[in-house]
A and B are shown apart, each in its own frame.
Chain A
Amino acid sequence: KAGVTQTPRYLIKTRGQQVTLSCSPISGHRSVSWYQQTPGQGLQFLFEYFSETQRNKGNFPGRFSGRQFSNSRSEMNVSTLELGDSALYLCASSPGTGMNTEAFFGQGTRLTVV
């Protein structure tokens, strides 16, 4: 069974640009969550999508947005990039329903804003 796939793995962008990251969950999983990891703030929850709807949202500005498609693949978008957006972005996949809520993470996308 294939794991969680994130693309691209590395990205360099300029301040003010926008970026789109992609995440393909484990087959059969309907929940996709996004996290940002920085040395200063650690791992922080961005948002979760389930069945194409945002189900939970963390405390991030509106420049951070996401969506989920009918095949459960998800994208997150960051507009008007700032230097502080440089981070490792991780996506997690989980079943989304039922008692087992175990999350599985992709390899991450390392974003550098210059």
Chain B
Amino acid sequence: GIQVEQSPPDLILQEGANSTLRCNFSDSVNNLQWFHQNPWGQLINLFYIPSGTKQNGRLSATTVATERYSLLYISSSQTTDSGVYFCAGGSQGNLIFGKGTKLSVKP
């Protein structure tokens, strides 16, 4: 089955810094999403991005489907950005998740 690898596993930043999270897929996927898991466990949708680039405020994402990877950019990080970021992809109704990147933003 498809393998999803996220890097780095852990990331510590000072408030205001920028960061890039990466997600590699072992095979092509026809959907790709980025999530932020809040402290209560809910997965919050950040981007649905099978290909191309999208931006939403301080966050942006790029997926290069032909090379099977996606990047999530966080600019001017804030303490509220802390948490675990997951990428996931696969076929409709069946998402394969990476192990996540745990981000800690220090004030």
Contacts and interface: CB of A to CB of B under 8 A. Distances in A.
B42 A103 contact: no
A71 B91 CA distance: 23
Interface residues of A, number: 28
Nearest to A107: B42
Contacts of A31: 92-93
Interface stretch (A14-22, A76-84, A87-95): A87-95
Contacts of B96: 45
Contacts of A94: 92-93
Question: Which secondary structure characterizes the binding site on chain B?
Answer: strand
B68 interface: no
B87 to A, nearest CB: 11
B94 interface: yes
Interface in A19-57: 31, 33, 35, 37, 42-45, 48, 50, 55-56
A96 B41 contact: no
Contacts, number: 63
B43 A105 contact: yes
A110 B41 CA distance: 9
Interface string B27-51: 0001101010000111101001000
A91 to B, nearest CB: 11
Contacts of A105: 35, 42-43, 45
B93 A106 contact: no
A70 interface: no
B33 A42 contact: no
A102 B41 contact: no
Interface of A: 31, 33, 35, 37, 42-45, 48, 50, 55-56, 58, 88, 90, 92, 94, 96, 100-108, 110
4 smallest CB-CB distances across A and B, nearest first, come from A48-B93, A43-B97, A102-B48, A105-B43
21 contacts: A31-B93, A33-B93, A35-B95, A42-B99, A42-B100, A43-B88, A43-B97, A45-B95, A90-B41, A92-B95, A94-B92, A94-B93, A100-B48, A101-B93, A102-B33, A102-B45, A105-B45, A106-B42, A107-B40, A108-B40, A110-B41
